[in-house]
Structure 1
Amino acid sequence: MRQSRTHLTRRTVSLAAVVALTCGLAAAPPALAVGEGPGYGGNETVNTSILRTYDELVAELKTQDAKQQAMELEVIGQSVKGRDLYLAKYISDPDNPTILFLTQQHGNEQLTTEGAVEFIKHLGTGKTKGVLDGVNVLVVPMLNPDGAMGDVDFPLDDYIADGGRHLTRYNANEIDLNRDHVTKIQPETRALHENVMSAYDIDYMIDLHHQGARSERDGELVSGSILYPTTPNVDPDVLEGSKRLGAVVFDAVDPTGWGHLGKYVGGTAETISRNGIAVEYGISTLLFEMRGMSDHFNEDYVLGQKSNGYLIKQTVTTLDATTRAISDGSISGADTSFWDTLAEQNVRGE
């Protein structure tokens, strides 16, 4: 039997670290970041009511679209259940390099979407003045809204989270969207490829995900892990751009004290966006797997919600650092040699 959990009703608790980031306050305490905690372990609260619903996400995107002159909001398609899929665009000059941030292909990996929304809000402030003059930014938040809302055609009875809804990896048809980048059968992946990948001249992409909560590097639990395309069919220049993108992320996150990154262990299949998009479109791609998931049937994959703040902050830091590095051109000099010594993560206890 699972123990009862206290229900939180205010999202501001889990976003405290993001407020600290955007207001220039102190970073979250190490206890809420890497190292030994907090894991779920059957005792932590895992409450989905503090996460934005699809409708709340759409409302915030529309609010920011109305506030921000540089932003344009576009509907790129619909999910299996008919929910609109959104693209937030910042295109100052078509000739500028362009980066795409993609979140929540897997519906139970939502903190990257929360971070992407905070980043969009961040772009509307004076803190990023001048940055958008040198880079175009595209953000696809919540590619899998049906999975995020638990509105699917299969049971979720064994999922762990409380709070009114379950979140699942799959879309409503019980398909993993991140295995559909070759056949493009599902409406969500078709929308992404037809109305984003093929419609815009994209140079870089970061595909943001979550992984299990027990991955470690050098004996310390990671805050996340990163990986470039590993298919042998990727163009060498595209691969080098991917490694530079990873260098910017590593240098922004790993030295913080709350961040600790490992090298993700991934395959070569081109059905996965990291590989397939790099090959098909010649885009430099980076996978970022944040620690822990918002819901799952496996306790080792779920992370207690006290970690929400620093994982959202990690997302904002990643998006901000890469946008700035592309804008000012410093990404071209990023030192990729760290990849040669970055240890592959392993799962604690295995």
Structure 2
Amino acid sequence: MKTSRTVAALSLAVLLASGAAAAPAVAVGEGPNYGGNETINTSILHTYDKMVAELKKQDARQPAMELEVIGQSVKGRDLYLAKYISDPDNPTILYLTQQHGNEQLTTEGALEYIKHLGTGKTKGVLDGVNILVVPMLNPDGAMGDVDFPLDGYIADGGRTLTRANATGTDLNRDHVAKIQPETQALHENVMSVYGIDYMIDLHHQGTQSERDGELVSGSILFPTTPNADPAVVEGSKRLGAVVFDAVDSTGWGHLGRYVGGSAETISRNGIAVEYGISTLLFEMRGMSDNTNESAVLGQKSNGYLIKQTVTTLDATARAIADGSIDTADTSFWDTLAEQTTRDTE
């Protein structure tokens, strides 16, 4: 276990330091998939308690950060919001992770980015943008503390991660009815309280999605409900343009256009309509746990996916802070191919 942690930490450190120099074949291309050949060790990921400890440590260290409890999960775990509000009149972006408990590397990236906000790496950014981060909206699923069977899950390390919350509900289908306490907390104590202009909802998808014959490192999509205001959709497309330019140009990133529905129960659509917020879905490649082998990515890829999250958050915050998002070129959407699923047979 100690060796696994050390290897993962060294891999991440190398990737974070190397930028675009990371090899495309490792980061995107052809793997590594799980395929029954690796141990998917969840012990290298933050548990809920370790995530909370890290948030509290950063809150104590960073004068600009404020940590708020916005509610509780079904099992009574506190749900956290990390806030950086330097000027209420600044534009505000919300980063939301882990609505699905088995999609954790975006949370790992969000924690890494929060640490960056306490260093000189992001100097001046907070003068022009307010940043909100809700990490791990579904802590019960992330800890496998659920009221349904856990048979067939692949991950090892004493911890199973489930898509649904403790009641078996998909939180990302609860943004109209708002029945679950996690979605209630998000809407009542974040969406309705802060003047949010942009939101990126970070998820994970399966491992076999490809664009132009190459497996993607992630995919993006704006609101597709016909009820979204065209100006809101245009803002969402600009947000996507910033992400695409930042990630797809690296040499290790390769993004596709996600194929998603128009239901407003999904946060990307429902939040855009209800609050007039420009929203972007970002689906990273591969999940941390699943019952389907083709959905789980080998943990050797963890480092680049965490780096991809940090790159996404950093680029969008900077673009909003300096105003360059207002002139982001959205024409790439006209030619960005919808991803397809690779035939593995």
SS of match in other structure, 1:146: helix
1:164 counterpart letter in structure 2? G
Supply the AA of the counterpart residue of 2:163: R
- Deviation digits for residues 69-122 of structure 1, max 9, x if unmatched? 000000000000000000000000000000000000000000000000000000
Contact 2:225 2:264 in 1 (8 A): yes
Counterpart residue number, 2:173? 179
Q: 1:4 maps to which residue?
A: none
2:89 aligned partner: 95
Aligned pair partner of 1:163 in 135, 157, 175: 157
In structure 2, the residue matched to 1:151 is 145
DSSP-derived class of the 2:29 partner: coil
Tell me the matched-pair count.
344
Question: Which structure 2 residues correspond to residues 17-56 of structure 1 after superposition, within 5 A?
Answer: 17-20=11-14, 23=17, 27-56=21-50
Q: CA deviation at 1:127?
A: 1.1
Deviations 1:166-192 (A, max 9, x none): 000000000000000000000000000
2:280 to 270, 276, 286: 286
The one of 295, 299, 308 equivalent to 1:301 is: 295
Structure 2 gap ranges (5+): none
Instruction: Verify: 1:310 aligned to 2:304, yes or no.
Output: yes
> How far is the alpha carbon of 1:19 from its aligned partner?
2.6
Is 2:15–2:22's contact at 8 Å kept on the other side of the alignment? Answer: no
CA distances 1:121-155 after superposition (whole Å, capped 9, x unpaired) = 00000111111000000000000000000000001
**Aligned partners of 2:126 and 2:211: how far apart in 1?**
35
SS state at 1:208 partner? strand
Aligned match of 1:225 in 214, 219, 223?
219
C-alpha separation between the residues in 2 aligned to 1:21 and 1:129?
Answer: 22
Q: How many angstroms apart in 1 are the aligned matches of 2:6 and 2:216?
A: 25
Match of 2:70 among 62, 68, 76: 76
Identical positions, percent? 83
Are residue 326 (structure 1) and residue 290 (structure 2) matched? no
Amino acid at match of 2:171: L
Q: 1:259 to 1:23 in 2, by over 3 A?
A: closer
Shift of 1:44: 1.8
Say which SS state the counterpart of residue 185 (structure 1) adopts: coil
Distance in 2 separating the partners of 1:25 and 1:340: 28
Superposition pairs of residues 4-23 of structure 1, within 5 angstroms: 7=1, 11-20=5-14, 23=17
Match of 2:118 among 110, 121, 124: 124
Change (3 A) 1:22 1:220: closer
Q: Is the 8 A contact 1:15 1:312 kept in 2?
A: no
Q: Which segment drifts farther, 39-48 or 7-16?
A: 7-16
Match of 1:267 in 2: 261
CA distance in 2, matches of 1:26, 1:222: 16
Q: Contact between 2:217 and 2:253, CA under 8 Å: does it hold in 1?
A: yes
1:340 aligns with 2:334: yes
Measured in 2, the distance between the counterparts of 1:195 and 1:9 equals 41
CA contact (8 A) 2:91 2:196 kept: yes
Cα separation, 1, equivalents of 2:114 and 2:328: 25
Paired residue secondary structure (1:14): helix
Task: Measure, in 2, the Cα distance between the counterparts of 1:345 and 1:64.
Answer: 38
The CA deviation at 1:37 is 1.0
Q: Deviations over 1:186-223 (max 9, x none)?
A: 00000000000001000000000000000000110000
Match of 2:281, SS?
strand
Q: Output the aligned Cα RMSD.
A: 1.3
1:112 and 2:97 aligned: no
TM-score (norm 1): 0.96
Tell me what 2:51 maps to: 57
Which one of the candidate residues 185, 194, 203 is aligned to 2:197?
Answer: 203
Aligned-partner Cα distance in 1 for 2:301–2:316? 23
Tell me which stretches of 4 or more aligned residues in structure 1 moved more than 6 Å: none
Partners of 2:293 and 2:271 in 1: CA distance:
32
User: Any stretches of 5+ residues in structure 1 without a counterpart?
Assistant: 1-6
> Is 1:236–2:230 an aligned residue pair?
yes
Between the aligned partners of 1:120 and 1:322, the Cα distance in structure 2 is: 14
